Amino acid sequence: MRLEDLSLLRGVSGQEDEVRRYLAERLRGKVDLLEKDALGNLIVGVGLHKKGPRVMAAAHMDEVGLLIHSIEENGLLRFRKVGGIDDRILLSKPVLVGPDRVPGVIGAKPIHLQEPGEREKAVSWRDMAVDIGAKDKAEAEKYVQVGHMATFLTEFGPFGEGRVKGKAFDDRAGCAVLLSLLEEEWDGPFFGVFTVQEEIGLRGARTAAYRVDPHYAVVLEGTPAADIPRKEGETPSTELGEGPAISFMDRSSIAHPGLVKELIQVAEREGIPWQWRRTQGGGNDAGAIHLTRRGVPSVSISVPCRYIHTPVSVLDPEDLWNTARLARAFIRELFKKGDRS
């Protein structure tokens, strides 16, 4: 499902151009509608000449990363975080900066020079900088400008037996699923929307849903698999290898109860393994979509991923395939329904 290609693309929130170009190239000439809106969402439509409810599936193109906000006289790059990143995973991580993919590494005061009190607490991102090897500001400015974005530098590849590791599985996993769905025939008007700026406030989904005005929405997401490490007796949010995760509530929305019930029925009927997304933290594009216009009945189907919002994520390809199977079967059921649930 082209997960590797999508994982290697760079697309921090607000600069999703590389991801959007890749997707558009794969879909051009194969769909009824292919347009970029003013905010940068890629809106795709198939089966638009057919009757039935408008069904929208969404996956966000953007990933977490860093925004370069200043360049110091010594050539170091000061940054701000884009999206929810734990400061503790940043130190010593390799990154690529700007459109020219300038290699850099995130650094801070070495432990040898820290005071005893400093060693007992995590280093804040405010005390870190990206080093690109420049000897001074003038040299750094030859390669990097204020406003450039930095992404983590991560190789995609096999991991253990049957699993894969890579960058930005949140939400290139969802993009891979949605891309596969858009290459199929549908019994009604199906819209696939690759959204922008999800990681900084579900912004693209808001305008895209207003444009499409769907009767139903399915959000395809990469969600935390908090299955290691955990305390004895603690229930993980999701687990790798247990199938797609169905959410009943998160911080941004409550899934439509009727659609959740139907989603589970479809999974059971088709023999597709599934699990609950057991925690209510976080949110996804459903939080913006379900509030659009008159309201949109919405559900989320997520691929469990370990270590999202870090340089390296891990997923089980079987979960990815089963997410696509479930989304495909469920959307076909939606076309059999009326205009509203």
pLDDT score at 234: 72
> Within 13 Å of residue 164, how many CA atoms lie on the same side as its CB?
19
Give tens-digit pLDDT for 277-334: 887 777 899 999 999 999 999 999 999 999 999 999 999 999 999 999 999 999 999 9
For the chain, the domains span 3-63+167-334, 65-152
Q: In angstroms, rounded to a whole number, what is the distance separating the alpha carbons of residues 216 and 40?
A: 22
Residues β-bridged to residue 95: 104, 152
pTM, two decimals, is 0.94
Cα distances (Å, whole numbers) of residue 20 to 37, 123, 161, 175: 11, 35, 32, 10
Phi and psi torsions of 205, nearest 5°: -60, -35
Give tens-digit pLDDT for 74-123: 999 999 999 999 999 999 999 999 999 999 999 998 887 777 777 878 89
Per DSSP, the chain holds a count of helices (H) and strands (E) of: 9, 17
Name the class of domain 65-152: mainly beta
- Bond preceding residue 171 cis, omega within 30 of 0: yes
Give tens-digit pLDDT for 164-201: 999 999 999 999 999 999 999 999 999 999 999 999 99
Catalytic residue set: 198
Domain 3-63+167-334 in CATH 3.50.50.60: no
pLDDT score at 237: 84
Q: In angstroms, rounded to a whole number, what is the distance separating the alpha carbons of residues 308 and 311?
A: 8
Q: In angstroms, rounded to a whole number, what is the distance separating the alpha carbons of residues 254 and 66?
A: 31
Q: In angstroms, rounded to a whole number, what is the distance separating the alpha carbons of residues 320 and 25?
A: 22
For the chain, what is the mean pLDDT?
Answer: 94
Residue 155, both tokens: 């190789």
pLDDT score at 303: 97
Give tens-digit pLDDT for 136-146: 999 999 999 99
* Per-residue exposure over 278-294, b if at least 16 CB sit within 10 Å of its own CB, e if not: ebeebbbbbbbbbbbee
- Check pLDDT > 80 for residue 235: no
